[in-house]
A and B are shown apart, each in its own frame.
Chain A
Amino acid sequence: MEKILTKKSFPEWAEKLKAYKIYAPILDDGTWSYEVINKAGDIDLDFPNTVQAPKKIINPQREVFLEFGRSDEDTPEIKEVLPEEKPVVIFGVRPCDAKALTLTDMVFDGDSKDVYYLKRRNQTVIIGLSCNTPPSPNCFCTSVDGSPHSEEGFDILLTDLGDRYFVRSLTKKGDTLIDLGKALFTAPKANDKKELTKIHTDAEKKLKREIKDVAKIPPKLKEMFESPLWDDESMSCLRCGICTYLCPTCHCFDISDEVTSVSPFKGYRIRTWDNCQFPDFTMHSSGHNPRPDKASRLRQRIMHKYQYFVERYDHYQCTGCGRCVSKCPVGIDIIEVLNKVRDYG
């Protein structure tokens, strides 16, 4: 379904989505992030991209799996804790971040089903905003099968045409949302479509960064497990883990117990994001560590994204958002590393 919605009518449409919990980008203390919106008028889609990807809404940094406790002396009781059942709309998701959700879907909705992730995912409607200009100088989505106007992972994709949005609904969930504000939408005219195509084509040309011949990289990586390149490239790593925390596709997690009361005994089993750049991510209790140094951990991050995931799922586990490049405190740049890998030896 294709429609036009004027920016003036936009808050009115959002107002009609009251049954949903609405997330949208909010600027707070100089940082854009997806937060719950209470007033439709607060939605501001004039933003670059958020610091944290919207994955935090589907796969929160900390979530409760179950409650445990013991009321009598012997038998513990456990109670499954599932996510709140409430339909969610996320406004203003960038194409790289929506595509990232389609990648984490492959992981959490594979042979084994992760009910926590899937419950959140299935009750969430994703409304995207295509990038008329790259939100970051380190955007490289076109290198990894993406584009500034990719529709992958979206229910609705908006494109900013100045005073109005070109609205493309891609799923039934999207159609339902448009139907809620039906009267506000008009049919697109020929010039709207022409403008849309021009904006989309121009946007692709504005990207500044690129991994050339990316298809050569997975087979090349396979030969480079023992390469000294990993030592050189990881030398400056501080093990802060920001690259993976901010990555929209990184999904590795820890499961641990939190005791909230000793008597009566009770607590939570929780899932928290974990990080392959931390030494204890893989350290055995014996002290043996299969990935004992920064080089092996950087190699894991790169190889997971550009070799192992490709072998398992036939996709790069990277959508070119550029966050890991922009936010790395020591300037480790995955684009540069991969360009070196391709040309190595």
Chain B
Amino acid sequence: MDDTNVYIPKLAKIINIKEEVGGARPIKTFRTQFLTETKFAHDCGQCAMLSVFGKGECMISISSSPLVQDYLQFSILKTGRVTTALHDTQEGDIIGIRGPYGNGFPVDAWKGKNLIFIGGGIGLAPIWSVLQTALGRKKDYGNLMLIYGARTSKDIVFKEELEELRKEMTVHLSVDVEEEGWKEFVGFVPQNVTDKKPSQKNAIAITCGPPIMIKFVIQALGDLGFKDEQIYTTVENKMKCGIGICGRCNIGMHYVCKDGPVYSWAELKELPQEY
């Protein structure tokens, strides 16, 4: 097979499936291993095009850290044709993977900084790789903080990992509406950001979630004195090729699959607001 053909996926085995969230909007986390030795060195925040043969392809953020060599991890909300097919797979099933795609977070440039991770719903997945990388290289960074929320406590992903995470860093969770037994913040993620008042001093804020959440998180951070250059987000758009030619994921002249998905707010606000 021609290695230069960018459209040919490599086969990979699903070695582990974990149910994160059940109900009408289920989320599962998949770990995969390539069947043959494959050059696939990703950066934090990059994506991969996953194939279920017969159903098609979809672009998914890689949620495992590049520090992890044994597997690639993807946390996937069941929502369309391919993600539904992925949810129907069993451990041991074979899928296709091509990539990695996109630019990734500038984690090396952030050395010495305090990092504040702000996620909503499945939006924790794209920032999980950078969060895990920061944890793995803890002495390279200052204070780490996570502010994360979901619709209900049942919609929270990485539940066990989040409990473990509390031993390593500050974790603030929230749910959108009041529920019995919930002891942490009630309200939307941007409100929790305002409530917890993370300091902008020597800090970088990394946020991902639904577009509306990102918009208000950026506003809340701005109110707390964060400069546009201190705020990073990842943009999601419908993608097909992953290499900036199929023409649909563009924001202005930028192709999110190639020039993104990671942008500082300083960069993103200069683009047409169409995402």
Within B242-266, the residues touching A (CB, 8 Å) are 243-253, 258
Pairwise interchain contact A308-B250, C-beta atoms closer than 8 A: yes
Pairwise interchain contact B244-A80, C-beta atoms closer than 8 A: no
In the bound complex, residues from chain A placing their C-beta under 8 Å from that of B252 are 303, 307-308, 311
Within A67-89, the residues touching B (CB, 8 Å) are 68, 70, 74-76, 78, 80, 82
Report how far A134 CA is from B18 CA in the complex, Å. Answer: 64
In the bound complex, residues from chain A placing their C-beta under 8 Å from that of B258 are 111
Q: Is residue B92 contacting chain A, with contact meaning CB distance below 8 A? A: yes
Closest A residue to B95 by beta carbon equals A76
In the bound complex, residues from chain A placing their C-beta under 8 Å from that of B215 are none
In the bound complex, residues from chain A placing their C-beta under 8 Å from that of B243 are 111-112
Pairwise interchain contact B236-A284, C-beta atoms closer than 8 A: yes
Q: B-side binding surface: helix, strand, loop or mixed?
A: loop
The CB with the most chain B CB atoms within 10 A, among A265, A274, A282, A307, is that of A282
Within B72-107, the residues touching A (CB, 8 Å) are 79-80, 83, 92-94, 96
Closest A residue to B53 by beta carbon equals A68
Q: Measured between C-beta atoms, what is the minimum distance from B146 to chain A in Å?
A: 23
Other-chain contact of B8, A80, A225, A256, A312 (Cβ < 8 Å): A80
In the bound complex, residues from chain A placing their C-beta under 8 Å from that of B210 are 286, 288
Q: Is residue A65 contacting chain B, with contact meaning CB distance below 8 A? A: yes
Closest A residue to B1 by beta carbon equals A80
A interface residues, tally (CB under 8 Å)? 51
Q: Is residue A276 contacting chain B, with contact meaning CB distance below 8 A? A: yes
In the bound complex, residues from chain A placing their C-beta under 8 Å from that of B251 are 290
Report how far A282 CA is from B80 CA in the complex, Å. Answer: 14
Pairwise interchain contact B79-A111, C-beta atoms closer than 8 A: no
Other-chain contact of B245, A74, A75, A110, A283 (Cβ < 8 Å): A110
Question: Contacts A74-B92, A255-B56 hold; do A66 and B7 have CB atoms under 8 A apart?
Answer: yes
Pairwise interchain contact A276-B247, C-beta atoms closer than 8 A: yes
Pairwise interchain contact A74-B248, C-beta atoms closer than 8 A: no
Pairwise interchain contact B56-A276, C-beta atoms closer than 8 A: no
Pairwise interchain contact B245-A290, C-beta atoms closer than 8 A: no
The CB with the most chain B CB atoms within 10 A, among A114, A309, A311, is that of A114
Q: Is residue B136 contacting chain A, with contact meaning CB distance below 8 A? A: no
Other-chain contact of A282, B9, B11, B237 (Cβ < 8 Å): B237
In the bound complex, residues from chain B placing their C-beta under 8 Å from that of A286 are 79, 210
Other-chain contact of A115, B2, B35, B272 (Cβ < 8 Å): B2
Give a binary string over B7-26; 1 marks a CB under 8 Å from any A CB, 0 the rest. Answer: 11101000000000000000
Report how far A265 CA is from B94 CA in the complex, Å. Answer: 14
Q: Is residue B186 contacting chain A, with contact meaning CB distance below 8 A? A: no
Q: Is residue B69 contacting chain A, with contact meaning CB distance below 8 A? A: no
Closest A residue to B255 by beta carbon equals A312
Q: Measured between C-beta atoms, what is the minimum distance from A192 to chain B in Å?
A: 43
Pairwise interchain contact A257-B1, C-beta atoms closer than 8 A: no
Q: Measured between C-beta atoms, what is the minimum distance from A277 to chain B in Å?
A: 12
Report how far A107 CA is from B51 CA in the complex, Å. Answer: 24
Question: Contacts A111-B244, A251-B247, A267-B53 hold; do A76 and B7 have CB atoms under 8 A apart?
Answer: no
In the bound complex, residues from chain A placing their C-beta under 8 Å from that of B96 are 76, 78
Pairwise interchain contact B274-A114, C-beta atoms closer than 8 A: no
Pairwise interchain contact A78-B53, C-beta atoms closer than 8 A: yes
Other-chain contact of B238, A82, A283, A300 (Cβ < 8 Å): A283
Report how far A76 CA is from B83 CA in the complex, Å. Answer: 18
Q: Is residue B211 contacting chain A, with contact meaning CB distance below 8 A? A: yes
Q: Is residue A263 contacting chain B, with contact meaning CB distance below 8 A? A: no
Q: Is residue B135 contacting chain A, with contact meaning CB distance below 8 A? A: no
In the bound complex, residues from chain B placing their C-beta under 8 Å from that of A267 are 53-54
Residues of chain A whose beta carbon lies under 8 Å from any beta carbon of chain B: 65-66, 68, 70, 74-76, 78, 80, 82, 107-108, 110-116, 225, 251-257, 259, 265, 267, 269, 274, 276, 281-286, 288, 290-291, 296, 300, 303-304, 307-309, 311-312
4 additional A-B residue pairs with CB within 8 Å, beyond A66-B8, A82-B2, A257-B55: A107-B245, A255-B7, A282-B248, A290-B275
